[in-house]
Structure 1
Amino acid sequence: MNQFGERIKQLREQKNLLQRQIAHQLFMDTPMLSKIERGERRAKKEQISIFATIFSIKEDELLSLWLADQVYEIVKDEGVALKAIQVAEEEVKYQSKRKSK
C-alpha cells in the first residue's frame, strides 16, 4: 500500500512538475522523492505541509493518506488487522468526544 506516494505522483504529474523541482523544495535529492512516490521510502511527517503547499491542497488530505500508510504497514501481516483497526477507530471516536466536551 502506498496511497501517499501514488497521490504525490498524481499531483506532481497534474501540475506538469518534474521530480527534481519538487525534491528541491523539500531539500532532498530526486532519487529520494522517486522512492517516496514508489513506496520504497516514507516521507517525513514534517514534509506533508510542504507537499500540500506545493500542490495547493489541504494538508489533511495528504496527512490522512500518510497515516493510513503507516497503519497499514503495522497491521498488514496480522490476522486480526481489521479488528484492531475497528478497536482503534472506536478509541479515536471516544477520545474525540471527550476532547470536544
Structure 2
Amino acid sequence: MLFGNKIRELRDEQGVLQRQLAALLEIDTPMFSKIERGDRRAKREQVIKLAEYFHQDEKEMLTLWLADKVLDAIGDEDELSHGAITVAQEQIQK
C-alpha cells in the first residue's frame, strides 16, 4: 500500500479532503477511500492526475503504484518472492 500511504500523507499535509480528490478523479468518495486504503488500485491516469495535483514527481508516484502491483502479484510467496523478483529484474534489464 505504498501509493495509498503516499496519497494519504500528502492529503493530510495539505489539508485536502478525500471528496476533493475524488472529484478531481471523477470518482465517488468511497472509491477514493478504497484506493487510499489499498483495497482498490488506482488507474495509471489517476496516478498521473494526483502527481500533478500534489506537484509530485510523476515517475516516483508511478513507481510506488507499480510496486504495489508487484507486491499484490507476489502475495504470500515469502520463500519464492526474492527469487521471482530477481528473475524479473534480469528480464527487464535485457
TM-score bin (small chain): over 0.9
In the alignment, which residue of structure 2 is the partner of 1:31?
A: 30
Give secondary structure in 1 for the equivalent of 2:89: helix
2:82 aligned partner, one-letter code:
L
Provide the aligned length of Structure 1 versus Structure 2.
Answer: 93
CA deviation map 1:58-97 (0-9, x unaligned): 1111111111110111112223111010111122122xxx
2:5 aligned partner, one-letter code:
E
Task: Kindly report which structure 2 residues correspond to 1:8-27, keeping only aligned pairs within 5 A, or say none.
Answer: 8-27=7-26
Give TM-score, length-normalised by structure 2.
0.93
**Structure whose alpha-carbon radius of gyration is higher:** 1
In the alignment, which residue of structure 2 is the partner of 1:81?
A: 81
Structure 2: gaps spanning 5 or more residues = none
In 2, Cα distance between equivalents of 1:86 and 1:31 = 37
2:66 aligned partner, one-letter code:
L
What value does the CA root-mean-square deviation take over the aligned residues? 1.0
CA deviation map 1:23-66 (0-9, x unaligned): 10100111111111111111111211101111001111111111
Give secondary structure in 2 for the equivalent of 1:23: helix
1:12 aligned partner, one-letter code:
R
Q: Which moved more, 1:3-12 or 1:76-85?
A: 76-85
Give TM-score, length-normalised by structure 1.
0.87
Identity between Structure 1 and Structure 2 (%): 48
